């Protein structure tokens, strides 16, 4: 649903759901699928989604880090990483996500991805952009620090890719992203995905669709006005 609704239009105003996530977070991809199922189960509740940034690892250099080196540092080796990711692969399969962690060669700093998601809001394709970035990283193993990959993602969802190519090398909207990251921490977000419904209710984690739907219903039924 479009974020803007004309005053002349009748019917309830859409309720905002903020989706705080990071595109290098596999549970955020699973959470997106579960949110979609939740929304499909409450078709009479109009909502508008707004995607906001979070960084699982702010220490990653802008150019990213070799994936194997990153896993060695984080988990102590490939075997331990595989054990950690096994339940994620299983959960992803249930949601129709064919996680292919073995294809990932670089763990990215996601600041530029978050700028791209921010810019996609103007075109009303934030969810499509998030989906494409998740797919590129977790299914195709793409390097999300590569400007050509990001420009290609912009083209894939119908954005003006030539404008994105001009903006990426600049500092445009870095300060906005950093403020949003600080705000997420300030309001108590300690893990993602996190869904903030009508700026009143918070659902932390990739909860079951029924849990998310119940929170959406409650927020809608108790919405002022």
Q: What are the tens digits of pLDDT across the range 62-97?
A: 999 999 999 999 999 888 999 999 999 999 999 999
pLDDT value of position 7:
43
Give the chain's length: 225
Mean of the per-residue pLDDT values of the chain: 94
3-state secondary structure of 80: helix
Residue in 132, 101, 130 with CA at minimum distance from that of residue 117? 130
Q: What is the CATH T-level fold of the domain 15-63+109-220, as seen in this structure?
A: Glutaredoxin (3.40.30)
Contact between 216 and 43 under an 8 Å Cβ cutoff? The reply is: no
Cβ(131)–Cβ(125) below 8 Å: no
For residue 10 the two structure tokens come to: 């009748």
Lookup: tokens for 42 = 């409450």
Q: What is the pLDDT of residues 99-113, one digit of tens each?
A: 999 999 999 999 999
Tell me the domain boundaries of the chain: 15-63+109-220
On the question of pLDDT at 15 being above 90, the answer is yes
- More confident of the two residues 159 and 1: 159
From the number of C-beta atoms within 10 Å of its C-beta (0-12, 13-18, 19+), residue 34 rates as: buried
Distance between CA 136 and CA 178 in Å, rounded?
24
Is residue 6 predicted with pLDDT exceeding 80? no
Burial of 159 (0-12, 13-18, 19+ CB in 10 A): buried
Cα Rg, the chain, nearest whole Å:
18
Q: Which residue has the tokens 């399969």?
A: 93
Tokens of 124: 């009303």
Q: Average pLDDT for residues 15-24, to the nearest whole number?
A: 98
Question: CB–CB of 61/122 below 8 Å?
Answer: no
Per-residue confidence band for 1, with pLDDT thresholds at 50, 70 and 90: very low
Contacts of 110 (CB under 8 A, 6+ apart): 22, 23, 24, 53, 55, 144
- What is the structure's pLDDT at 79? 86
SS (H, E, C) 147-200: HHHHHHHHHHCCCCHHHHHHHCCCCCCHHHHHHHHHHHHHCCCCCCCEEEECCC
Q: pLDDT band for 225, please (50, 70, 90 cuts).
A: low
Name the H helices within 42-110: 67-75, 78-94
pLDDT, tens only, 170-223: 999 999 999 999 999 999 999 999 999 999 999 999 999 999 999 999 999 999
For the entire predicted model, the pTM comes to: 0.93
């Amino acid at each position: 649903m479009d974020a803007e609704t004309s005053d002349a239009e009748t019917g309830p105003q859409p309720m905002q759901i903020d989706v705080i996530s990071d595109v290098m977070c596999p549970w955020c991809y699973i959470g997106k699928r579960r949110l979609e199922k939740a929304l499909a189960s409450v078709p009479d509740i109009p909502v508008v989604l707004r995607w906001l940034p979070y960084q699982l690892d702010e220490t990653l250099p802008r150019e990213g880090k070799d994936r194997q080196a990153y896993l060695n540092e984080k988990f102590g080796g490939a075997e331990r990483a595989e054990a950690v990711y096994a339940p994620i692969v299983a959960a992803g399969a249930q949601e129709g996500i064919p996680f292919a962690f073995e294809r990932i060669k670089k763990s990215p700093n996601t600041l530029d991805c978050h700028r791209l998601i921010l810019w996609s809001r103007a075109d009303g394709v934030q969810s499509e952009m998030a989906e494409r970035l998740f797919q590129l990283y977790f299914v195709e193993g793409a390097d999300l620090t590569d400007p050509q990959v990001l420009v290609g993602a912009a083209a894939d969802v119908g954005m003006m890719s030539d404008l994105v190519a001009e903006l990426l090398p600049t500092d445009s909207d870095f300060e906005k992203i950093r403020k949003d990251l600080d705000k997420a921490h300030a309001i108590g977000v300690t893990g993602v995905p996190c869904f903030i419904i009508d700026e009143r209710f918070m659902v932390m984690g990739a909860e079951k669709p029924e849990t998310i739907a119940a929170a959406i219903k409650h927020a809608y039924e108790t919405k002022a006005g």
